[in-house]
């Protein structure tokens, strides 16, 4: 199988980590950008295509099995029935509220679990077949990478609508690492412990030095590093935080 058939899929693109990761991987693979709203991937796809890479965006709801099935169909139409994946990156998170537990609607919890937990499960069930197909033909072991957070390992007061999904996602990644590592797919989980420097957080930590925030581009480099690890040396989990972060 020619290497050109190998693609990278990024779920949860937007103006932050997802975009940086997609840009980074686009210099090596055609990338598929998944987001619910087209405005979250259109500009990025254009940018990557203009820069000489190849990117397509597909409007996808990762909490819906049908929506993901359509995404896989779209990918096969674009890249051929025998398309394989070198990387699949799950960077989506459900909505949540930082509030007293009894004031949070049950719907917020279930929406959060739908994306963070079920979304991760459905994404994995959709793209692991493509990653398995990539084993052997990919220069680097095909990689399935999940974006976690501080709340993936610590469940603070008033954060349960975020942490429940994030702990579930971490459990998923650990189980998949154990099942699919021996089959040649590298499954990894990154604990992003701090504020990422993206447009949405521009006003945060304004009295701190610039380096108080994580760089989204540096996260992308770290994901690329995970991707290039050989079969003898897989990392399941890394944590990432600014040097000056309190933890």
* Positions in 20-59 near a second copy (CB under 8 A): none
247 interacts with a second copy by CB under 8 A: yes
Beta bridge partners of residue 87, listed in sequence order:
8, 143
96 interacts with a second copy by CB under 8 A: no
Tell me the window of 30-38, 47-55, 79-87, 112-120 that interacts with a second copy (CB under 8 A): 112-120
Q: At 167, list the tokens.
A: 């702990």
Nearer to a second copy, 83 or 188 (CB): 188
91 interacts with a second copy by CB under 8 A: no
Q: 86: number of CA atoms within 13 Å, CB side?
A: 27
Question: How far, in Å, CA of 91 to CA of 89, rounded?
Answer: 6
61 interacts with a second copy by CB under 8 A: no
Q: How many residues bind a second copy (CB under 8 A)?
A: 74
179 interacts with a second copy by CB under 8 A: yes
User: What per-residue string of b and e applies to 219-241 under the rule 16 or more CB within 10 Å gives b?
Assistant: bbebbbebbeeeeeebeebbebe
Tell me the window of 26-34, 36-44, 199-207, 230-238 that interacts with a second copy (CB under 8 A): 230-238
Nearer to a second copy, 74 or 184 (CB): 184
Within 8 A by CB and 6+ apart from 57, the residues are 13, 32, 33, 34, 35, 38, 41, 42, 44, 45
Count, residues in the chain: 247
User: What per-residue string of b and e applies to 174-193 under the rule 16 or more CB within 10 Å gives b?
Assistant: eebbeebbeeebbbbbbbbb
Residues of this chain, 126-165, that bind a second copy according to CB under 8 A: 128-129, 141, 151, 154-160, 163-165
Question: How far, in Å, CA of 5 to CA of 24, rounded?
Answer: 18
Tell me the window of 25-33, 70-78, 84-92, 121-129 that interacts with a second copy (CB under 8 A): 121-129
Nearer to a second copy, 41 or 146 (CB): 146
Which of 65, 78, 95, 137 is the binder for a second copy (CB under 8 A)? Answer: 65
């Amino acid at each position: 199988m020619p290497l050109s058939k190998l693609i990278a899929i990024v779920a949860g693109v937007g103006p932050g980590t997802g975009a940086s990761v997609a840009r980074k991987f686009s210099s090596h693979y055609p990338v598929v950008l998944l987001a619910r709203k087209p405005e979250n991937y259109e500009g990025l796809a254009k940018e990557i295509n203009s820069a000489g890479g190849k990117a397509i965006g597909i409007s996808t709801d990762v909490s819906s099995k049908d929506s993901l099935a359509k995404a896989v169909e779209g990918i096969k139409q674009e890249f051929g029935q025998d398309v394989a994946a070198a990387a699949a990156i799950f960077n989506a998170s459900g909505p949540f509220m930082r509030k007293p537990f009894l004031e949070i609607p049950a719907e917020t919890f279930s929406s959060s679990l739908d994306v963070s937990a079920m979304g991760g499960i459905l994404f994995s069930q959709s793209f692991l077949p493509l990653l398995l197909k990539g084993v052997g033909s990919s220069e680097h072991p095909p990689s399935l990478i999940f974006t976690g957070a501080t709340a993936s390992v610590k469940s603070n007061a008033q954060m349960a609508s975020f942490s429940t999904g994030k702990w579930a996602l971490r459990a998923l990644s650990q189980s998949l690492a154990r099942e699919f590592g021996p089959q040649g797919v590298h499954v990894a989980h990154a604990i992003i412990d701090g504020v990422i420097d993206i447009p949405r957080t521009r006003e945060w930590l304004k009295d701190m030095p610039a380096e108080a925030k994580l760089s989204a581009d540096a996260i992308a480099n770290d994901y690329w590093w995970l991707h290039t690890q050989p079969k003898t040396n897989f990392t399941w989990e890394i944590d990432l935080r600014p040097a000056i972060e309190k933890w």
